[in-house]
Structure 1
Amino acid sequence: MIEVKKVQDKKNLKRFIDFPHALYEHDENYVPELYLAQKDLLDKKNHPFFKHSEADFFLAYKGQEIVGRIAAIKNNNYIAYTGESTGKFGFIDFIEEYEVAEALLNTAVDWVKEKGLSQLAGPENFSTNETCGTLIEGFDMPPTIMMPYNKPYYQDYLEKYGFEKDMDLLSYKIYQKDVPDKLVRLSSKILERLNNKGITVRKINVKKFTEEIDKIIEIYNSAWEKNWGFVPMTDEEFKHAAKDMKQIVDPDFVLIAEHNGKPVGFTLSIPDMNMPLKYLKRGRLLPFGLFKLLYHKKEINRVRIITLGIVEKYRKMGIDAYFYAKAFEECKRKGLLFGEASWILENNEMMNKAIENINGKVYKKHRLYKKAI
């Protein structure tokens, strides 16, 4: 018999965070999340998400053994922004037994119903602004930074439960050597054309990080406002996430486009810290994890192009092409083999075409699900 219990203390929150380590112990493609980062994300007292929304966390037991976990989420900002009566589930992991997945999902359905909502969607941790999606293709390589990973049976069990596809999220692999020479060759001409229209492109100034983040927030919420599944981040949420990102950001991979000094686009690529993170046992930096992280950091040979956004009025002007050209110029200069552009909505024709034009190939797919309840 499967018993599902709500997490109500620090001891069980730790178990909630650590469960995937046991589940994927012998999976060579698994990368542990940093324990401190997960603890921060799930902190109901201090994380900015809980200032406007709510979530509860649950563990599934088979006897005394933990066999699964799930979060049930009511994102009030998402509901207000979209008008949808939708609750979310996230942080879902379970052993290869359908009864466990069923018990966890029943718990999330009951929780969402109690909140007066009529649909359950996910997985999202806590929205599409964070880690989201179930991996359905591309199990042969480890995930890049801030991308989810799971076993193939997750898709089978979610669909057996009655979930339907809501949207697929595409991840492209773009080898630095395959980027058309023409794009890099023309980058200076693209920039010249942009400059003639009053548009400049520059690297982020990390010495003025707080001021720069204020500009990027404005672009982020404007550029994505019409995207499927999007919910604007509050200033506090964005700054909270940026604070952690500052520790690993490479300024050479963060570009801001401005029109007469007004921010109109930006791109963020992150060196794939998952490559050294996979060596950290249970995601702990102490006592020896930090040394392992620093030692294996030299093995990083790829970046994740995590965000590329342009305010609608300034699209189709070549800003995106210049962003990609500069990213791969930096990849070549730093000796990196490839970049992963992820994730891209399957219905984002403009972005998908732009990546295909630089010889990007889809090599992973994640799926978001929905179910009326």
Structure 2
Amino acid sequence: MADTGIMIVPVTTKAERETFVDLAYRLGRSDPNWVPPLRMEALELITPGKNPFFEHADVQLFLAKRGGAVVGRISAHIDHLATAMNPVQGFGPGTGNWGLFEAEDEEVADALIRTAEDWLRAKGMTRVLAPLSMSIWEEPGQLVRGHDHPPTVMMGHQPAHYQPWFEARGYVGVKNLMTYELDITTGFPPLIQRIIQSGEKNARIRIRNVDKSRFDEEAALILDILNDAWSDNWGYVPFTDTEIAYAGKKFKPIVREDLIMVAEYDGEPVAFMMTLPDLNEALKPMEGKLLPFNWLKLLLWLRNPQVRTMRVPLMGVRKKLQSSRLASQLAFMMIEFIRRNAVSRYGASRGEIGWILEDNQGMVAIADAIDSHVNKEYRIYAKPL
């Protein structure tokens, strides 16, 4: 890109990976609603041998430089588990991705996106789905609504001006992912309360906490329900065994037994709901650093997290019950039981559910029924190569 003075270089060393991570902190610092992730976790995400995503994906990171200064970054990647999926579910053969995008200006954005597209095209890809940073299970999509408040734990936050840059380069939105927020200090509407009360009287239904002393067993159960519940969804990509172990290790410090529920029907586990205290509330003032004393603050917070917000990142009901009245009843019961614990034990006043696919009618109906409303919207784009 000699005519613009922009040079795009592939990332090949640890020092360049650190530079790749550092750029997000420099560009994000001016946004009061950006939450700096822990640097060690941001670096782990892009490091082969640390993040199991690399076991089934080809990944190339790029830096943009101008006048010797780093002014942008992007990842180009091909998830071979995703390319093996049915195309009607969003991915499929020939679909590559880019993500982890940051750029100082549109000129830099153009050079980065073209480089990522060229890399994917050279690898035989015929279509790009973006932005994905990097797996669909991590931080998918460009934030297009809700820039006025910080994201909750494990959700992305991108500047609004990135959206027109993508669209000007031929990217067309193919799916919107929504998060819903609600006041959890008060009970749900009378109809929902009656449904919950009916379930509490039904001897065939049992809603239980997970047992952290059997963490691996409970994690395997939840993943089994998740894989069954989500396997036909748009964007679904299965977890590998190493990814399950990796996710379990990351989740364990913030998992609370009374915030994750399993629903049993006639003794069979058929649904689950995972809720996490919003770790971002603790991380935001730390600026991504654990030293010198933030590690102690974080440790104390993890022992007894008192938060404003609880996030429900995952829930699922086995396929055989989906679209049934029982499925929605179990969902309402789990939400209510978790709501009670979140308010009384953790001081929470706000809940966030998502992300939810815009056309997931069952989940949208549940969100509407408990008087929640959309607070953030993320868009995934596609473009032929």
Is the TM value for this pair above 0.5?
Answer: yes
TM-score, reference length from structure 2:
0.91
Amino acid aligned to 2:116: A
1:178-200 Cα deviation digits (max 9, x unpaired): 5425335653421333x42xx43
Indicate if the aligned counterparts of 1:172 and 1:361 stay in contact, CA closer than 8 A.
Answer: yes
Please tell me whether residue 116 in structure 1 is matched to residue 124 in structure 2.
yes
- Give 1:308's aligned residue: 315
Question: Residue 76 in 1 paired to residue 80 in 2?
Answer: yes
The structure 2 residue matched to 1:51, chosen from 44, 52, 55, is 55
Determine if the alignment matches structure 1 residue 4 to structure 2 residue 8.
yes
Partner in structure 1 of residue 200 of structure 2: 191
Q: Does 1:202 align with 2:208?
A: yes
Q: Which residue of 1 aligns with 2:286?
A: 280
Higher mean alpha-carbon deviation, 43-52 vs 319-328, is at 43-52
Quote the Cα distance in structure 1 between the aligned partners of 2:7 and 2:331: 50
Which residue, out of 16, 39, 53, partners 2:20?
16
1:354 aligns with 2:361: no
1:87 deviates by 0.1
Q: Is the 8 A contact 2:151 2:157 kept in 1?
A: yes
CA offsets 1:333-352 (integer angstroms, 9 cap, x no match)? 13211101111100011101
Counterpart residue number, 1:102:
110
Would you say the 8 A contact 2:95–2:127 is kept in 1? yes
Q: Which residue of 1 aligns with 2:89?
A: none
Q: Give the whole-Å Cα distance in 1 for the aligned partners of 2:252 and 2:183.
A: 26
CA distance in 1, matches of 2:267, 2:53: 31
Displacement of 1:275 in angstroms is: 0.8
Q: What is the CA deviation profile of residues 314-353 of structure 1, one whole-angstrom value per residue up to 9, with x for unaligned ones?
A: 2330111111111221232132111011111000111011
Aligned to 1:257: 263
1:87 maps to a residue whose letter is G
Distance 1:37 1:354, change over 3 A: same
Counterpart check, 1:266 vs 2:272: yes
Per the normalisation by structure 1, the TM-score is 0.94
Say if 2:228 and 2:318, in contact at 8 Å, map to a contact too. yes
Deviates more, 1:222-231 or 1:126-135: 126-135
* Structure 1 residues 341 and 284: CA distance shift in structure 2, 3 A: same
Whether contact under 8 Å (1:279, 1:293) holds in the other structure is no
The letter for the 2-side match of 1:91 is L
Is there any run of 5+ residues in structure 1 with no aligned partner, and where? none
RMSD, aligned CA: 1.7
How do residues 144-293 of structure 1 correspond to structure 2 at under 5 angstroms? 144-177=152-185, 179-180=187-188, 182=190, 183-184=192-193, 186-193=195-202, 195-196=203-204, 199-281=205-287, 283-293=288-298
Q: Distance in 1 between matches of 2:62 and 2:8?
A: 6
Superposed counterparts of 1:121-132, under 5 Å: 121-132=129-140
**How far did 1:66 drift?**
1.1
* Identity %, equivalent residues: 33
